Structure 1
Amino acid sequence: MAVGRPREFDPDQVVDAAMKLFWAHGYDGVSISDVTTATGVNRRSIYAEFGSKEALYERAVQRYRTGPGGYVVEALARPTARDVAEAMLHGAADTVSGDPHGCLTVDDGPGLAQMREATVHQIAKRFDDAVADGDLSGVDTLLLARWIAAMCQGIAIQARSGASRADLHALADVALAGWPGEARKAH
């Protein structure tokens, strides 16, 4: 029985490197040559392992969602809708102010629009649960979820433009001042 050559690279390391490249430069700003330069793995091996740039990108996006973007899942588990919003906004501020700045998912890469829409619906579902529990009332939960997503995306754009982590957290606090019922509490 013939024994093949052992794999000369760790696919997870390639996915991590690709994630950082796509995060910094977007889908269109990264070529397989960029990945080979960053990892030292040749083009043929990358295609043999991942099949295509798009498939590598999809793996990189999944790595981002379970790694740096994992704050979304943690936020959705918070006990109140307000806590969810706070964890989303401040989680975004922490994640997007790292290196690289910005958010991998605020791009026009393959499948991202659908993924962002699915996330909005996850947030809306969590807010629906808060309405059913009596924690939240008098709101359009889908619209509120879109607002939170838009604020997180705006924080990411500000990070990419050079805003500091402190500024991003201050933006999150300003956004939270618009939370339903906050104006009534202030008076």
Structure 2
Amino acid sequence: MGRHREFDVEAALDAALCVFWRKGYQGASYTDLTAATGVERPALYAAFGNKEALFRQALARYYKRYMDYVPRALQCPTSKEVAACILYNTADLNTRFPDHPGCLHINGAVAVSDEAESVRLALIEARAAGEALLRERFERAKTEGDLPETAKPDVLAAFVMSVAHGMAVQAKAGFSREKLEAIANLALDAWPVKDDG
């Protein structure tokens, strides 16, 4: 009969998520993870697998719990509202927690060594999937006449992602929510509109 697990797996995963969010994948050591979770390394291995498996579970939890505004944004009636929902929520999320500002996805992807190449590639794939969803939404907006004929949905999707990711980096560097919202406003001012004249 196996030993009874003597810690709250959900609480440990939440604690690990915060460590990865603050330090990134590469910067989070097992010492950091065991200190934050209160769980010794063998028990962490038993519960989650290796560090990469723990990170992937934390990332999935992050997307479900904190990035839930993205599916909502895709349902907004206009392309500009889609972009606004994403950018304003990005400003909020990236500054909401003073002890781990920025974005887990971005913090996790930067400065990853060759040994962690699979993590970097997984993050790149996740970003590409998000960009593809935006591109499809903007293609629909163009078909529906919400965007001008000259609009390029792929470029607009890349633009929104680039601004959001830049905001995450700046939040990590100490930018306030107000400053990030001002950046979002500037980006939205550049949004293409259909000329009905």
Question: Do Structure 1 and Structure 2 share a fold, with TM-score over 0.5?
Answer: yes
Deviant stretches of 4+, over 3 Å: none
1:122 match: secondary structure: helix
Name the aligned partner's letter for residue 179 of structure 1: W
Structure 1 match to 2:156: 144
Assess if the C-alpha contact under 8 Å between 1:64 and 1:70 holds in 2: no
The number of equivalent residue pairs is: 182
Which secondary structure does the structure 1 equivalent of 2:96 belong to? coil
Check if 1:160 corresponds to 2:166.
Answer: no
Match of 1:112 in 2: 123
Could you list the per-position Cα deviations for residues 129-166 of structure 1 after superposition, in whole angstroms to 9, with x for gaps in the alignment?
A: 11222212321111110000000011111111111111
- AA aligned opposite 2:104: L
The one of 137, 157, 160 equivalent to 1:126 is 137
Residue of structure 2 aligned with 1:89, choices 80, 87, 93: 87
What letter is aligned with 1:47?
A: Y
Mapped contact 1:11–1:49 kept (Cα < 8 A): yes
1:49 alignment counterpart: 47
TM-score when normalising by structure 2: 0.87
Query: How far off is 1:33 after superposition?
Result: 2.1
Q: 2 CA distance for matches of 1:76 and 1:52? A: 34
Q: Does structure 2 conserve the Cα–Cα contact (< 8 Å) formed by 1:15 and 1:60?
A: yes
**Aligned residues: CA RMSD:** 1.6
For residue 101 of structure 2, what is the aligned residue in structure 1? Answer: 101
Unaligned runs of 5+ residues in structure 1 are none
Contiguous gaps of at least 5 residues in structure 2: 113-118
The one-letter code matched in structure 2 to 1:46 is L
For residues 59-116 of structure 1, the C-alpha deviation after alignment (integer angstroms, 9 at most, x for no partner) is 1111111112222122112111111000010010000012211111113261111111
1:17-57 CA-to-partner distances (Å, cap 9, x unmatched) read 11111111100000222111111111111101111100100
Is the aligned partner of 1:78 residue 2:95? no
Q: Find the aligned partners of 1:79 and 1:9 in 2 and give their Cα distance.
A: 45
Q: Percent identity?
A: 40
Cα deviation for residue 5 of structure 1 reads: 3.5
User: Where does residue 116 of structure 2 map in the other structure?
Assistant: none
Mapped partners of 1:104, 1:62: distance in 2: 11
Paired residue type of 1:35: L
Which stretch of structure 1 is more off in the superposition, 146-155 or 97-106? Answer: 97-106
- Residue identity opposite 1:161 in structure 2: A
For the 8 Å contact 2:147–2:193, the answer to whether it is kept is no
Segment drifting more, 164-173 vs 67-76: 67-76
Q: Is the 8 A contact 2:59 2:104 kept in 1?
A: yes
When normalised by structure 1's length, the TM-score is: 0.92
